[in-house]
Every structure is written in structure tokens, then in C-alpha cells.
Amino acid sequence: MSLIKDVRIFLKGYSVYKKEKQTPEAAYLSMRRLFSKTNGRFNNIAAALETAFMPKYKFDPQVTGILGTLSQDEIKQISQAIRENGFYIFPRPLEQEKVDELIRFARTTPAVPRIAGNRTPVVYSSEQPVSPVYDFTAQSLFEAPVIQSLLTDPTALAVAQEYLGPRPMLDLVTMWWSTAARRNTDLSGAAQLYHFDMDRIKFLKFFIYLSDVDTYNGPHCYVKKSHRVKPKPVRRDGRIPDEELMANYPAADFEEITGKAGTILAVDTSGFHKGKPLEKGERLLFQMEFATSMFGQNYPPVQVTEKIAKEFLDTTKKYDRTYKEILKKN
């Protein structure tokens, strides 16, 4: 399919999205193709246009939250580091009380095993895992008070705005267990082969390690600068073997990110990345993603129920655009 045809499909689909808040499948696939065909340039232009005339959220000169107390200069430096390398590791971990609350949630709340033929939610057991990955539903995550506090954190929102542009939208919230069990699935399905994400035009993910992560139990692996440049031999959608990437990027650009429970990363996963396959133990990871818009993959919104606190909803009103499409009121 020609570049011009893909642009036309994208523009037509974006018009539909603006009216209906749903992205036509053909337009979403065109966006993915355009990303590869233009080495990301199309997405950068489209993202800039999305936010060009939008006023920024105004934050205090010093913003305090899960990432510490950040000055506006520090926020700009963090954003620049992500632009340069594709990720940033925050020096301050999530406070231990929140880590403990998130672990309690993960050990008592049913999650969906990522396994063919068995999608019934179960409480994860370290002793008898039957799947390499267990995913928590977005609804259950939004209804947890500790997670509500993360989703409205001003430091994360300030960093996302600096990197993406004005008034980024909360796009996706996930949390999952990874285990050394590998039965009835493959590495591709568990996101344990290198790939890039392209569900939105431009986006930024925050990962929080909720267990100690070393080289043996699933560190996040990232190819530095690959969000900016993808050599032609690997400029394609889908999973890519390590050996093929290693033939196209210097060895020094392959980062394996380990860390203690509470470690926080900001990552542009339009660069090549993977979760390293676990050799032993388990890993618990929380993720929230901000994007320039919700154009792209269509995910069901989260229902506003009595379990979602009024204080949380009041805060979402302060940052109006960020939460308006991910939450659905009855």
C-alpha cells in the first residue's frame, strides 16, 4: 500500500475518531504502517499537530509526588533524557507503604491467566502458577485506592506533559504477574521477544517494579535510541529475534534494567523492548500510559462505580482532558 494511500486512510479515520471516539481498524493499521514507513517521522508530526493549539496544564514551580519533588528544570531534563535514550530511571523509588499496598492487592485480587483456553480470573499463587503471565483487569485496578493515587499523581502527569505535549490523556493502566512457568503459551504472546508498541500516535509509559528484579526474573530490556532510529532491516511490525537486532545496533545500546521493588521507569516503548524471559521466581509490574490522544487501539472504558472514590473523581476534573475518555459514567 502506498504512503499517500495510508495517509488518506489515516486522515479519514482520525476524522471519525474525533466525532465518535472510536478508531476505525483500517486507520489504526495505517498508522502502524506509516510509523514504519517514515521511521517515526509521521507520528512525530501528527502528535505535534494534535497538541499544537492546546494550553498546557499549569503546575507549581515545585511539583511533589511519587517521583519526588521536581523543579520545572528537572522535569525538562527528565524529558530530554527520554528523548535521547528512550527511557529514564528515577532515582527515587515508590514509597514502601504504597509498594506493600500494591502487593497486597495483587495477592488477593483475581487476575486473568494469559493462557489459551483458560481466561477465568483466579488469585495468583506463587506455589502453583499455570501461566507465565497473569493480567489484572483495568476495572479492578481503577477501583483500588492505592492505584487511584498513582493515576492522578502530578509528577507523572507533569513529566508526561513535558514529553508528549499539552494535556496528555491517560490511555492504559495495567498490572501483571510474570512467572517462570511457560506452559501453554509462547514468548511472543508474553511480550518476551523484542518488539515496539504502536497503539497510539505518541505515548509514554511509567513502569513500577513491585518485586526485586534481577537478570534472572524478567528485567525490562530496551535498545537505547531505537525510538528515534530503526535501521531498514528491522523497521517492521511484529516480534524480532535478539540476533537480528544485535546485527543492527551496537552492543552498548542494549540495556537490561534491574532494580529493587519500587523502582520507577519512564519509557517510550515505540523503541525496541521486551521483558526478558524469567529463569526463576516471579515479577510483579504496574504500568500506566499517557498519550497525545486515544486514536489507535480501541480499549473499553472503565466504568465509574461506587468503588471509585469521589476524591479521585474530583482530581480528574482538575485535569479534564487526561481522564475524560478512559472513564465512563453510568
pLDDT tens column, 203-247: 999 999 999 999 999 999 999 999 999 999 999 999 999 999 999
- Residue 185: is its pLDDT beyond 70? no
* Number of domains within the chain: 1
pLDDT tens track for 27-38: 999 999 999 999
pLDDT average, residue stretch 76-92: 98
**In sequence order, which ranges of 198-288 are alpha helices (DSSP H)?**
242-246
Give the distance from CA 5 to its chain's centroid. 29
Domain extent at residue 135:
59-328
For residue 211, is it within any domain? yes
Q: Is the pLDDT reported for residue 104 higher than 50?
A: yes
Task: Answer yes or no: is 223 within a domain.
Answer: yes
Residue 329's pLDDT band, with cuts at 50, 70 and 90, is confident
Alpha carbons 222 and 36: distance in angstroms, whole number? 18
Report d(CA 316, CA 129) in Å as an integer: 37
What pLDDT is attached to residue 182?
59
On whether residue 34 sits in a domain, the answer given is no
Q: How far is CA 254 from the centre of its chain?
A: 20
Note whether residue 138 is domain-resident: yes
Confidence band, pLDDT 50/70/90 cuts, at residue 118: confident
Q: Does 178 fall in a domain?
A: yes
3-state secondary structure of 326: coil
> What percentage of the chain reaches a pLDDT higher than 70?
96
Q: What angle do CA 234, 176, 24 make, to 5 degrees?
A: 55
Q: What is the mean pLDDT of the chain?
A: 94
The whole-number pLDDT of residue 162 equals: 98
CATH classification of the domain holding 275: 2.60.120.620
Residue 150 lies in a domain: yes
User: 214 in a domain, yes or no?
Assistant: yes
The string of DSSP codes covering 260-283 is -TT-EEEE-TTS-EEEPPPSSSEE
DSSP class of residue 127 equals S
The count of other CB atoms within 10 Å of the CB of residue 196 is 24
Q: Determine how many CB atoms are found less than 10 A away from the CB of residue 7.
A: 16
Residue 81: predicted pLDDT: 98
State which H helix or E strand residue 64 sits in. strand 62-65
